Amino acid sequence: MILEYIPTFQQVFGLLAVFIVVAAMGIIGVAVAGRHRVSGIGLICGWGVVSLIFTGIGSVSHIPFTYLTLLSALLAIFSYGYVSRQNILIGYGDIGKMVVLTVPLLFLVAGITPSQWDEYSHWLLAARYLFEIDAFPWADLAPSKADYPGYPYSISLITYLVSRTAGWLVENTGALFNSVLIISFALAVVEIVRDGRGESSAQDKSKPTNWGLTAFGFLAVTVLSTTFVQKLIFTAYSDFPTAVILGFAGVAGWYLLDALAKNDTARAKSLAVQMGLALVVLINSRQSNLVLVVFVVAGVFLSGALSPTVGVKKIARYLPLILIGPIAIYVVWNLFVSGNLPGGAQAVRPFSDWQWHILPQVFAVVAKIAVKKGAYFLAMLFFTFWALKSFWRIQTRFDQFAVITATVFIGYNAFLIFTFFAIWGGFSGINALSYWRFNTHLGMLGVACGFYGLAVLSQKYSSRIPYATLGKVAIVLALILPIGAAAKIRFDIRAPKIYVKKVGLEIARTIPKNSHVIILDPLDSGIYAKKMRYQLYGVADVILKTSAFTKETPEKLKKRVAESKATHIWVHTKNKAVDEIVGLALADRTSHLLKRQGNKWQLVKSWPFPGYNLPSDIPD
């Protein structure tokens, strides 16, 4: 059992490749942001620069991505030379402490394998396309099998770069990189807490942070966060990167207001660039992140405009530095999509198709979710209340932070409601699908705002707070909690997930290349059909798949199967209708591979389920 948690040598090398890419991008980011950078933001700034290189060049030319990788590597080398000469490569001691404290977590995540729905429907397929084709999905190249090939690629680029560095497709890059993002934002939280406690050296990277506060930063971003969802974080999903990038953008904007209030022009320019590069990555990670960009910029502008020490003129002067990067990459990418991938991204319904009538049901579901996730929503509603209270008389830096956070919270949630009735509609809209998941995108911004407020409040009771003791407790918790939560972190270790991957790899070795496969899985949600499709990538096309949500009658389905060009059928779960469709009495609690023999189906091989009756019997 313990062996399942231990990474293989290849997975350890995959982790090493992640660190190499992170170090390269971090050096680039440090060179751009300089000594006035927010702690931990160097990685995000470097990611922004690399995104501009790949998207700016890769969407207007067929230059292979391998060359762009070499260009980025050269830039990292030159950046290292620059920061060494300028003596701005400081603060690495705190990074080292944070890495040491996260060793148990990194060890666990290194062995994780992809297992979630969207990984197999989009994110892994998008990254795999970049790795194999060495380019974006141009119209004259092979089509992408990802569900949304028109989605931006900043997140998929990380998997590409790590895989190019390693020499093979490192499928768990997303989980590993997100673990590094935990480290990055934890460093920012530490700086914010020190700032809130009134430490004059909070932004001085040459002043090291003690181990206890470093551990507290890690806990703040993980178990003390109201939006820590392991199945979103330790995957290839874009949700946690979105939360971290948005958090950094908000923090950089908040520090920008402080620099403007102090008339520190050099620091203000640096922070505007940092915020702009964070927004480059944010807008180029998810199609809907445009909305987050709009509202975080609006929040910073509004907070600055209402602050007596800043004002409209001061903050407006820095908007070009903030906006030029995200606007440029957004325009370039969307021109590429319109010319090469029409329909490759989600779109708003025509106004006449907006489903206004579902709004009462949507609000009812939203209210139910808000009650269930009360800690998060109470915190965000508190920030909103505080922002409204301070709206016309911003006096403190917490007032500014609350206005930024509340603006994003109100604006983004209004957009989500709009999405449910004007973009999705139907079952997804009525049930406010993924409403909580999307709200996790605001989690790190809330963490930063909340812990700054708590740090300020703690100053009133500093003589009563046993900081040394709490620091020791934080260190112990940071080291042991990942071990205690190993089963929750390694949610990929579930018998059906392991079984389907093993069977899929065997089928891929068994059937001829260019086969056409039908997947029959009438007693499950469809996740394992997605996983099987991925395992057959490059060997067979899945031309039809069924699940518990398939509405076709057995008669119609039987006709479709008979008239299809399928060469094989994989039966995962079965009912009587499946036996009728294939004309065989198949064993229960077993999956089966069939091949077409004229007008009939012949059993090739069967695989009994390992210790369960149905995949749904095993809790995920």
Quick one: pLDDT at residue 393?
85
> What is the Cα gyration radius of the chain?
25
Quick one: pLDDT at residue 9?
96
For residues 579-607, give the mean pLDDT: 97
DSSP one-letter code for 543: E
Q: Are residues 441 and 515 in the same domain?
A: no
Q: Between the CA of residue 320 and those of 1, 81, 266, 272, 426, what are the distances in Å?
A: 55, 29, 16, 9, 40
Quick one: pLDDT at residue 1?
66
Task: Kindly state whether residue 38 falls inside one of the protein's structural domains.
Answer: yes
Quick one: pLDDT at residue 57?
98
Q: Are residues 247 and 374 in the same domain?
A: yes
Q: Are residues 469 and 509 in the same domain?
A: no
Please, are residues 126 and 100 in contact by the beta-carbon 8 Å criterion?
Answer: no
For residues 519-537, give the mean pLDDT: 96
Average pLDDT, the chain: 95
Percent above pLDDT 70 for the chain:
98
Q: Taking the mean position of all CA atoms in its chain, how far away is CA 126?
A: 14
Phi and psi based region of residue 116 (left: phi greater than 0; alpha: psi -120 to 50; beta: remaining): beta
Quick one: pLDDT at residue 203?
62
**Sheet of 590-597, strand order:** 540-545, 515-520, 568-571, 590-597, 600-608
Q: What does the alpha-carbon distance between residue 279 and residue 275 come to, in Å, rounded to a whole number? A: 6
Quick one: pLDDT at residue 3?
83
Q: What does the alpha-carbon distance between residue 336 and residue 365 come to, in Å, rounded to a whole number? A: 37
Encode pLDDT of 404-463 as tens digits. 999 999 999 999 999 999 999 999 999 999 999 999 999 999 999 999 999 999 998 888
Q: Is the pLDDT of residue 540 over 70?
A: yes
For residues 519-546, give the mean pLDDT: 96
- CA proximity to 405, closest of 242, 251, 183: 251
Q: Are residues 505 and 485 in the same domain?
A: no
Is the full-model pTM beyond 0.85? yes
Quick one: pLDDT at residue 200?
64
In this prediction, residue 389 has a pLDDT band, given cuts at 50, 70 and 90, of very high
Q: Which of 296-300, 347-351, 394-398 has the lowest mean pLDDT?
A: 347-351
In this prediction, residue 201 has a pLDDT band, given cuts at 50, 70 and 90, of low
Please, are residues 434 and 362 in contact by the beta-carbon 8 Å criterion?
Answer: no
Quick one: pLDDT at residue 546?
96
Q: Which residues contact 512 (CB under 8 A, 6 or more apart)?
A: 567
Please, are residues 161 and 21 in contact by the beta-carbon 8 Å criterion?
Answer: yes
Q: What does the alpha-carbon distance between residue 552 and residue 543 come to, in Å, rounded to a whole number? A: 16
Quick one: pLDDT at residue 202?
54
Which of 455, 489, 523 terminates a domain? The answer is 489
Q: Is the pLDDT of residue 207 over 80?
A: no
Q: Are residues 448 and 511 in the same domain?
A: no
Q: Which residues contact 581 (CB under 8 A, 6 or more apart)?
A: 520, 554, 557, 558, 561
**Segments forming the whole domain that contains residue 185:** 2-342+364-489
Strand (E) positions, 455-534? Answer: 515-520
Q: Are residues 439 and 551 in the same domain?
A: no
For residues 589-612, give the mean pLDDT: 97
Task: Kindly state whether residue 350 falls inside one of the protein's structural domains.
Answer: no
Percent above pLDDT 90 for the chain:
92
- CA proximity to 603, closest of 612, 578, 616, 615: 578
Coil, strand or helix at 167 = coil
Quick one: pLDDT at residue 86?
86
Which residue is it, tokens 């919270």? 409
Q: Are residues 468 and 503 in the same domain?
A: no
CATH code of residue 535: 3.40.50
Rounded to whole angstroms, the maximal C-alpha distance in the chain is 84
Encode pLDDT of 122-170 as tens digits. 999 999 999 999 999 999 999 999 999 999 999 999 999 999 999 999 9
Beta bridge partners, 603, equal 594
Which of 489, 523, 542 terminates a domain? The answer is 489
Q: Are residues 473 and 512 in the same domain?
A: no
Quick one: pLDDT at residue 206?
63
**CB-based burial label for 104 (10 Å; 0-12, 13-18, 19+):** middle
- CA proximity to 379, closest of 446, 435, 439, 299: 446
Phi then psi for residue 104, to 5 deg, are -60, -40
Q: Is the pLDDT of residue 345 over 80?
A: no
Q: Are residues 265 and 330 in the same domain?
A: yes
Quick one: pLDDT at residue 440?
99
Q: What does the alpha-carbon distance between residue 310 and residue 312 come to, in Å, rounded to a whole number? A: 7
Please, are residues 287 and 152 in contact by the beta-carbon 8 Å criterion?
Answer: yes
Encode pLDDT of 304-331 as tens digits. 999 999 999 999 999 999 999 999 999 9
Which of 463, 489, 515 terminates a domain? The answer is 489
**CB-based burial label for 468 (10 Å; 0-12, 13-18, 19+):** exposed
- Number of domain units in the chain: 2
DSSP letters of 77-105?
HHHHHHHHHHT----HHHHHHHHHHTHHH
Which carries the bigger pLDDT value, residue 523 or residue 209? Answer: 523
Task: Kindly state whether residue 349 falls inside one of the protein's structural domains.
Answer: no
Quick one: pLDDT at residue 279?
99
Beta bridge partners, 577, equal none
Task: Kindly state whether residue 354 falls inside one of the protein's structural domains.
Answer: no
- CA proximity to 563, closest of 601, 595, 599: 599
DSSP one-letter code for 272: H
Q: Are residues 94 and 192 in the same domain?
A: yes
Task: Kindly state whether residue 352 falls inside one of the protein's structural domains.
Answer: no
Q: Are residues 247 and 376 in the same domain?
A: yes
In this prediction, residue 620 has a pLDDT band, given cuts at 50, 70 and 90, of confident
- CA proximity to 449, closest of 396, 479, 405, 486: 405
Task: Kindly state whether residue 355 falls inside one of the protein's structural domains.
Answer: no
In this prediction, residue 391 has a pLDDT band, given cuts at 50, 70 and 90, of confident
Q: Are residues 376 and 462 in the same domain?
A: yes
Please, are residues 222 and 420 in contact by the beta-carbon 8 Å criterion?
Answer: no
Task: Kindly state whether residue 142 falls inside one of the protein's structural domains.
Answer: yes
Quick one: pLDDT at residue 561?
96
Q: Is the pLDDT of residue 387 over 70?
A: yes
Q: Is the pLDDT of residue 109 over 60?
A: yes
For residues 206-214, give the mean pLDDT: 87
